[in-house]
Amino acid sequence: MRLLHTSDWHLGRSFHRESLHDAQRAFLDHLVAVVRDERVDAVLVAGDVYDRALPGLEAVALFDDVLHRLADLGVPTVFISGNHDSARRLGVGAGLIGRAGVHLRTDPGECAEPVLLADAHGPVAVYGLPYLEPTLVRERFGLARGGHAAVLGAAMDQVRADLAARPAGTRAVVLAHAFVTGGEPTDSERDIAVGGVAAVPAAVFDGVHYAALGHLHGCQTLAPHLRYSGSPLAYSFSEHEQRKSMWLVDLAAGGAVTAERVFCPVPRPLARLRGRLDELLTDQRHTADEQSWVQVTLTDPSRPSEPMERLRRRFPHTLQLLFDPEETTAAASPSYAARVSGRTDLEIAEGFLRHVRPGAEPDPDELGWLRDGFERVRETTDRKAELPR
């Protein structure tokens, strides 16, 4: 049986305020084409269909469109809800939609109720485990306490019990949305540590032939039967070196797994640049990055004037500007107290003026105003000191 494993679509998400609507639509076009051209038998979507619990109308329209197109192909599709989704909203109409071969698994009480598929080698039971927030589902699984590992372990116990009651040779596939130990996170996943320790051991998924994982945005193989597809698009600059893809999984008659990556369209490359502003504006090594979405970290000792405007003249798609000045170590940059030690109040004030106006010395009038100000403060202080106590 040939399976297409994807996850973390995050429909409706933007990238540093840049709309990704067209890029997400292009990905869904690509997904439908792969399903058709590669003769996929079933599609597995392991959570975070939407980016937020109340998705915008454009995101809902994208989802609605791809549901119709997958149903028209006659290819069974199994979705689970992720931690970004509203399970109740995503699951509305699941019974009716299921009749068209699109199966929405959003209810923790249905973990042990598989979607039953079959090929020439026999049955395949596909179990959908939606994101399980420990504080909300412990009682449902008969647990008094415990975090993610406990609730996911209890759900998998139900899966294994159901599988044991099925005909011998039934192959088992699980969809889950979780942070499995050994996975590499990025900056764009929402923390799921609330409610207990976030990570769950890979051994939780013992007893099944393939676990299609969602939540982490990088494509990863934890074991031949245990994989993250990753997100189809980059959602943070920490993903700038990742190739986004889906897994095309072939499940053999005995349950053995072979998988290959199917790469996703790239709407615009990502680049992370670091250096002094003048160098970045002239260095020919960055020519290839001129049409990328760019994150820049400036290392100039003092902040240059109008840095974003100047950067965008060469890199028009600069989206994020950070500052990390050179010589920030204690040895190179002594403390403020050390820098002003031994200076008079007037000298310290003059130094402040020079700091906030680089290259401009205080003029005689300003120096006179400062001297008068300090003199008046001293006079006021002296008079207060002479008053009887």
pLDDT in tens, 30-89: 999 999 999 999 999 999 999 999 999 999 999 999 999 999 999 999 999 999 999 999
Per-residue model confidence (pLDDT) at position 374? 78
pLDDT over threshold 80, residue 165: yes
pLDDT classification of 159: cutoffs 50, 70, 90: very high
> What are the structure tokens assigned to 338, written together?
């050390």
> What is the length of the chain?
389
- Give the separation between CA 269 and CA 267, rounded to whole angstroms: 7
CA 354 to the chain's CA centroid: 43
Beta strands 210-214 and 245-251 are unpaired
For residue 227, report the phi and psi dihedrals to the nearest 5 degrees. -140, 150
pLDDT over threshold 80, residue 357: no
For the chain, what are the domain ranges?
Answer: 2-263, 270-323, 336-386
Per-residue model confidence (pLDDT) at position 195? 38
Lowest pLDDT segment from 12-21, 292-301, 327-336: 327-336
Architecture of domain 2-263: 4-Layer Sandwich (3.60)
- Give the separation between CA 256 and CA 246, rounded to whole angstroms: 19
Quick one: average pLDDT of 157-170? 97
Structural contact between residues 141 and 110, judged by C-beta atoms closer than 8 angstroms: no
Quick one: average pLDDT of 232-244? 96
Per-residue model confidence (pLDDT) at position 191? 66
Per-residue model confidence (pLDDT) at position 24? 98
Per-residue model confidence (pLDDT) at position 348? 84
Per-residue model confidence (pLDDT) at position 331? 45
pLDDT over threshold 50, residue 196: no
pTM of this prediction exceeds 0.75: yes
Per-residue model confidence (pLDDT) at position 197? 46
